[in-house]
Amino acid sequence: MFLDLASLRRQGGKQQYRFEEALPALKTEYEDVGFVEPLTVEVEAVNTGNVILVDLAASSTVRLECSCCLAPIEYPLHLKLNLAFVHQDDLAELGIENDLEADDEEYYQVYKDQPFDIGELVAEHLLVSLPMKPVCREDCKGLCSMCGKDLNLGACGCEETTIDPRMEVLRGLLGSSD
């Protein structure tokens, strides 16, 4: 996914791109998250003088696991990024140090004369946009903690609630009614 920002810098105006690319699985701390379909990326890059503003919209579907019942889920990912690109030679003019501080890095991407590959940047942001606790549905009942049955498929025979030991004491004090 290459953007030819250097020629946009020379010519002015804007460029539009559309990419469709099958990406390798995203590697999270816990698992590899595979894509169900190719990633599509739409990009508009506008030369505003020293800075090229890039609007990017990416979408795909990934395969996750419900954090409650462990069922596989197809989870749609939509990502929007607004980025500002500065050519290395324009940094000084903008009053930005050549070595970007961490603060600047959030605002500016530095590019050189060769086409800029946005693939890695998009993958990084996709990774961060993954939900921490995906669920197959809002009211997922999860698995029984005793027998492991998927409670979405119906109740199991286990005790429904474990009894709070403090309630037991209270019951003893009040005297059992049965």
Per CB under 5 A, residues contacting Zn ion are 66, 68-69, 71, 136, 140, 144, 146-147, 149, 156, 158
How many other C-beta atoms are found inside a 10 Å radius of the C-beta of residue 111? Answer: 20
Number of C-beta neighbours around residue 38 at 10 A: 13
CA 150/CA 147 separation, integer angstroms? 9
Of 46 and 158, which CB lies nearer to Zn ion in the complex structure? 158
The percent helix, strand, coil of the chain (3-state, each to 5) is: 20, 35, 40
Cβ proximity to Zn ion: between 119 and 142 the closer is 142
Taking the C-alpha atoms of residue 38 and residue 35, their distance in angstroms, rounded to an integer, is: 7
Nearest distance, CB of residue 130 and Zn ion, angstroms: 17
Residue 62 Cβ vs Zn ion, minimum distance, rounded to whole Å: 16
> In whole angstroms, how close is the CB of 64 to Zn ion at the nearest point?
11
Q: Of the two residues 57 and 70, which places its CB atom closer to Zn ion in the complex? A: 70
